């Protein structure tokens, strides 16, 4: 892009942001059409996940819609402002995902393995897997699939979520509820 083209683009985008600040949807649509490929590309380079990148790009444009009046052309070009917003959003998303993963790991270590270990220990103590098979039969079909994939298939909760195309919190709830039912069926007593 030549300097003249860049100057023209800056003038056009600045004018569109001013109109967006006034609530003009057509200006927003035009601004989006002119800039979304670059924003999405930058976000994708940071997140490396198309789904998260699409969501984050939408969040960036929502932020543009809500904060267009905050753009100050004296501080830089509209595109640099937009890319800065996008980069910050993408980095925040990475941090949020890392934090969520760490919370899941901590929660999993403190909550999930206790009931399973108690069930596993009880089965080992009894030496009777037929009771476990019978008790697995008392679970709902979805609980049974999640528990079997996680504990017999060796998948992580995230892998179970992806395999079943179900949200991660839903998988966790199904496994927790399934383990509680297994404990009750096996008559396992534990503290936790």
Q: Report pLDDT digits (tens) over 74-89.
A: 999 999 999 999 999 9
Q: 21-30: long-range contacts at Cβ-Cβ below 8 A with a sequence spacing of 24 or more?
A: 21/68, 21/69, 21/71, 28/61, 28/64, 28/65
CA nearest 33: which of 8, 52, 59, 61? 61
Q: Report pLDDT digits (tens) over 174-189.
A: 888 888 888 888 776 5
Whether residues 73 and 150 fall in one domain: no
Q: What CATH number does residue 181 fall under?
A: 1.10.10.10
Whether residues 165 and 95 fall in one domain: no
For the chain, the domain total comes to: 2
Q: By percentage, how much of the chain surpasses pLDDT 70? A: 79
CA dist., res. 41 & res. 53, Å (int)? 8
Domain with 74, as residue range(s), is 1-111
Q: What CATH number does residue 14 fall under?
A: 1.10.1740.10
Whether residues 128 and 92 fall in one domain: no
Whether residues 41 and 69 fall in one domain: yes
pLDDT over 70 (residue 5): yes
Single residue among 89, 111, 133 that ends a domain in this structure: 111
Please give the pLDDT value at position 143: 85
Q: Which pLDDT band, with edges at 50, 70 and 90, does 114 fall under?
A: very low
Task: Give the pTM.
Answer: 0.53
């Amino acid at each position: 892009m030549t300097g003249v083209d860049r100057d023209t683009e800056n003038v056009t985008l600045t004018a569109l942001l001013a109109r967006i600040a006034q609530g003009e949807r057509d200006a927003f649509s035009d601004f989006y059409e002119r800039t979304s490929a670059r924003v999405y590309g930058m976000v994708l380079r940071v997140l490396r996940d198309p789904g998260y990148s699409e969501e984050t790009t939408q969040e960036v444009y929502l932020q543009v819609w809500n904060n267009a009046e905050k753009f100050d052309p004296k501080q830089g070009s509209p595109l640099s402002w937009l890319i800065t917003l996008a980069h910050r959003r993408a980095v925040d998303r990475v941090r949020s995902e890392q934090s969520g993963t760490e919370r899941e790991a901590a929660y999993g270590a403190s909550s999930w393995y206790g009931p399973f270990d108690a069930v596993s220990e009880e089965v080992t103590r009894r030496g009777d897997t037929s009771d476990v098979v019978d008790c697995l039969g008392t679970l709902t079909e979805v609980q049974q699939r999640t528990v079997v994939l996680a504990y017999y298939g060796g998948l992580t909760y995230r892998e179970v979520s992806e395999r079943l195309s179900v949200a991660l919190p839903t998988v966790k709830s199904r496994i927790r509820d399934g383990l509680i039912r297994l404990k009750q069926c096996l008559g396992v007593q534990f503290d936790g």
